[in-house]
Structure 1
Amino acid sequence: MDGEGRLKIYPARQKYKILSLFCLALKFEAGRIYNEKEVNQILMQWHTYGDWAMLRREPYDKGFLNRKSDRTAYWLEEKQPTLSSSGLELEACRK
C-alpha cells in the first residue's frame, strides 16, 4: 500500500492477496447494491497499477463481493473471509 492506502501492486502470495482484497472490501458499504461503473470507480480510487478489471473479478472469486449473473449488480457479501485464517490482522489495512 502507498501512503494514502492505495494498492500499488497485486501481490503474488495468497495471504497478501487476501489482505489486499480485505482492505478493498472495506471501501464498500454493507447492504448497498452497486452497478459495475460504481464498483470500477471505487476500485480505481484505491489502486495505482491500472488493472481494475482484475480487481473487480478477484473480490468476487474470493468471496468478498457477490454479483448478479449478468453483472449488472454487485454487493458486499454478508459473510466475509477472515484475516485470521491467513494469519493477518486488520491493522495491516491501515499501513
Structure 2
Amino acid sequence: MENSGIEKWMKENRIINLPRRQNDKMNIFCYITNLEFKTGVEYTEKEVNHKLVNYYDDYALLRRYLVDFGLLERSNDCSVYIRKQDREYEANNNY
C-alpha cells in the first residue's frame, strides 16, 4: 500500500474514511478486491462479509460498492458473488 495513493484513506489496512472522489474510491476497492477475491471463484454472501469486515466496519456498504463499481457480480438472489474480471489497482487511474 506504500506510495499507492490510498494510504491517506487507510491505516493498518483498514479504511479510516471513504473518499468522496469516485477515482479514490475505485482505487481502494480495487486494492481490496485484488487482495481478497480470485477471478471466477464463487463466494457466498457470508464469505464476502467475512473478508470485508477486516477492512471496514460497514461491510454491507463496502460489499454494495464492490458490486456497484463492477468489481463483484451478484446473483439475482444475492446468494453468490463472483469477481468479474481482473482489474489492476493503480493510483490516480481514471475509472
TM over 0.5: yes
Stretches of structure 2 lacking an aligned partner (at least 5 in a row) = 1-9
Kindly indicate whether residue 3 of structure 2 is the aligned counterpart of residue 5 of structure 1: no
- Which position in structure 2 is the counterpart of 1:72? 79
Structure with a larger share of its residues in helix: 1
TM-score (norm 1): 0.76
Superposed counterparts of 1:76-87, under 5 Å = 76-78=83-85, 80=87, 83=90, 85-86=93-94
Give ranges in structure 1 of 5+ residues lacking alignment.
88-95
Q: Which has the higher strand share?
A: 2
Matches within 5 A, 1:14-29: 14-26=22-34, 27-29=36-38
RMSD after superposition = 2.0
14-23 vs 4-13, which moves further? 4-13
Between stretches 78-87 and 36-45, larger displacement belongs to 78-87
Contact 1:44-1:52 within 8 A present in 2 as well = yes
Aligned residue type for 2:76? S
Alignment partners' CA distance in 2, 1:78 and 1:13: 23
Aligned residue pairs: how many? 84
Superposed CA deviations along residues 16-55 of structure 1, whole A, max 9, x for unmatched, are 11111111111112221000000000000123xx211110
Q: Secondary structure of the equivalent of 2:73?
A: strand
Sequence identity percentage: 32
- The alignment status of 1:44 with 2:64, answered yes or no, reads no
**For residues 23 and 86 of structure 2, what CA distance do their matches in structure 1 show?**
18
TM-score with structure 2 setting the length: 0.76
